[in-house]
Amino acid sequence: MGNAVRVSGLTKTYRLYESSIDRALDVFRRTDRSRKFTALNNISLDFPTGEVVAILGKNGSGKSTLLKIITGVASQTSGDVEVNGRVSAMLELTSGFDKELSGEENIYLRALAMGIPRDEVEAKKQEIIDFADIGTHINQPVRTYSSGMKARLGFAVSVSVDPDILIVDEVLAVGDDVFKLKCIDKMQHFRKEGKTILFVSHSLFTVKAFCTRGVWLDKGVVMAEGELGDVITQYEDFLREERRRAKAVAPKDEAPPMDKSDVVKITGFRMHNQAGEKTTNFKYGEDVLFEFRYEVKRPVEKLTFCFTVRNAEYHEVFMADKQNPDNTIASTVGKHTLRVRLRSPNLLAGTYALSGELWNNEAAFYVGYSNKRPFTIEQDEFIGTGITRIDYEFEND
Amino acid sequence: MRTAIMSLRDIVVTNIRYFRRTLDMARVDLVKRYSGSILGIFWGIVRPMVFISVYWFAIQVGLRGNQPVDGAPFLLWFLPGIVCWFFISDALTIGGAAIRANSHLVTKMVYPVATIPVFTVLSLYFVHLMLVGIVVVIFILSGYGLSVYIFELFYYTLCTLTFAFVVSTMLSTLTAVSHDVGHMVKSIMTALFWLTPIIWSVDTLHGIVRYIVMLNPVCYLVQGYRNAFVLERWFFVEWEYTVYFWVLMTALTLFTSFLFAKLHKEFSDIL
């Protein structure tokens, strides 16, 4: 499979000026009076066709700059960008709407600016209106719209161009849940058609639900790239570390916020097989075991444990009942070990993820012991496809 | 120089390639400018009409300056020049801020930036055409009539559009980079109005002052509109002035192209 987008040695330097007039005068000067800010530093990346790539990173890490350069909105300082296919970018859904014009007129306005000829807009108008789903409001001025309605209309126009590569920059943050689901649904549809999607979102939840690959940028440099699971794990570790460091430098005179690890501290998580060997590969039908140590530092009442198994797309396969009193574990101050056995879980071959936490419902306290830790099931004989085996019998006459 | 010529070629090629989109955008821009009002595009005509009536009243009645100028009644002498000025004034202020005003096209989508001042000027030109039409009707109804010189208007339209495209591209490039340029243009407009022979005749001046006033290219255009309607003078009669105008235009075009080449890549970073 080829690459939809290929970026090599990409660098973007912004020129910053004390006063804007200096930028104009610099055109005629031999010297350059600007300060330089490097947003992207010698980045090389491949975005394979048909993948949904999440671009992760904190604010100011260069994500938007990268997307803008790939889109063609901004130009790079050096390096090459190779794009194969028609790009539709959603850098902002509602920009360029005229608030006095009606929704329908704004469809024309946006579509024309995107370079779609008038007759083509005419043909696609109904489809756009249907997708936006804002009823008779379509004939009202856009200034009367809610932000969700504006976002829906903008999204509808943007996807109507039938792109090969869709670039989505944090635009799902606006709008309600129904809108988000609809957008994700549409993007899933694109994905099935083998289109490439580059996706920026600060909602790791959305990213996990939807992306297949990940790129993590920090300060204009690629920190990690590859399978989403790997990248996201590294990124989450980084965020945790960052948070911990931020806490460490926080002023001491304030009462230190109580940290979870001051109550219950978890150490030494491992998965193993029946023989007690540490592994994350299991045979089909074999018991999956895991254990971890935890230290209770302050007395907690009724500590419950639960676990979740998800499939490779992070859809839930099974989550243990969090309210079940049978899952209450020892919570006296001191060190404990918890051993869990998933009895022949009947999962079919594939990658799964194990998450779990200890928690106390009354105090809304929880501490995780495993965060989507991948494990695989191997299978020697083929018995069917899907996630789990269903026992069946039949009779006929 | 090389940069300027290459860039000029790019700008022209871009504009030819996207001309259909530019026309569509000009129409949309027009609708957008008057969106939300009931009279819509008619405000584009009403506003200058009120302006003209007030000036005519102040000068003809207030200042008692109702003697004919260059053999034409003051109002008829005044109309072609002021109509030309309205277009130029809009081209400099609105056209000269076009890129900043349409920043969403620059920063949020892939849009040929070089066509933004062009479609803005074209949308202003639609209104201008209507005004010229009205002036023609007034000339016919007043009994003053039109002469063969009216065909000269095609030539002066070409000059005016060239001037508007070039200067609006230059100014909108600069205003995109610096707010100060935008404010500067606005404050210069009043001065330019009075320094250009719009409500007074250039023929009242003599000697060096006359030539200094005529250095202003807007003077050439205003005089040109007047040539076509009342002065009955061909543009090649004053050929030195025509040569001057086109030399100046060439220089401005090259300067604008150079400026655009140096700055347009930074638009999306600044706006």
Residue A113 and residue B105: Cβ atoms within 8 Å?
A: yes
Query: Is A95 an 8 Å CB contact of chain B?
Result: yes
Mean pLDDT of A286-296: 89
**Count of A-B CB contacts under 8 Å:** 85
The whole-number pLDDT of residue B136 equals 92
The answer to whether B39 contacts chain A (CB < 8 Å) is no
Q: Taken in order A377, A382, A388, A389, is the CA torsion positive or negative? A: negative
Q: Which amino acid is at A261?
A: S
Q: Which one of A23, A73, A75 has the shortest CB-CB distance to B177?
A: A23
- Confidence at residue B256, expressed as pLDDT on a 0 to 100 scale: 92
User: Is residue A175 pLDDT above 70, yes or no?
Assistant: no
Task: Give the chain A residue whose CA is nearest to the CA of B23.
Answer: A112
Please say if the pLDDT value at position A256 is more than 50.
Answer: no
A115 neighbors A158 (Cβ within 8 angstroms) = no
Q: Is B23 on the interface with A (CB under 8 A)?
A: no
**CB–CB contact B24 A68 (8 Å):** no
Give the residue-averaged pLDDT of B230-254.
88
Q: Is B20 on the interface with A (CB under 8 A)?
A: yes
pLDDT band at A259 (very low <50, low <70, confident <90, very high): low
Min distance A222 CA to chain B CA atoms (Å):
22
The span from the CA of B75 to the CA of B81, in Å, is 10
Task: Tell me which of A185 and A272 has the higher pLDDT.
Answer: A272
Best residue in B109, B181, B262, B265 for a mutation probing chain A (most A CBs within 10 Å): B109
Check pLDDT > 50 for residue A331. yes
Closest by CA to A107, choosing from B29, A118, A166, is A118
Confidence label for B72 from pLDDT (cuts 50, 70 and 90):
confident
**Reported confidence tier of residue B44, pLDDT bands at 50, 70, 90:** confident
Residues within 8 A of B (CB atoms), A 122-151 only: 141
Strand order in the sheet with A264-272: A264-272, A288-296, A334-342
Answer whether A100 touches B (CB < 8 Å). yes
CA distance B86 to chain A (A): 25
- Cα dist from A365 to A269, A304, A340, A358, whole Å: 20, 10, 21, 8
B interface test, pick of A33, A95, A157 with most B CB neighbours within 10 Å: A95
Closest CA to A319 of A306, A304, A329, A302: A306
What integer is the mean pLDDT of B29-40?
Answer: 77
pLDDT of amino acid A251: 53
Verify whether the Cβ–Cβ distance B106 to A73 is below 8 Å. yes
Contact between B262 and A87 using a beta-carbon 8 Å cutoff: no
B122 touching chain A per CB within 8 A? no
CB contact under 8 A, B270 and A24: no
- Say what percent of chain B tops pLDDT 90: 31
Model pLDDT for residues A64-96, shown as the tens digit of each residue: 888 888 888 888 888 888 888 888 777 777 777
| CA of A23 vs chain B CAs: smallest distance (Å) | 7
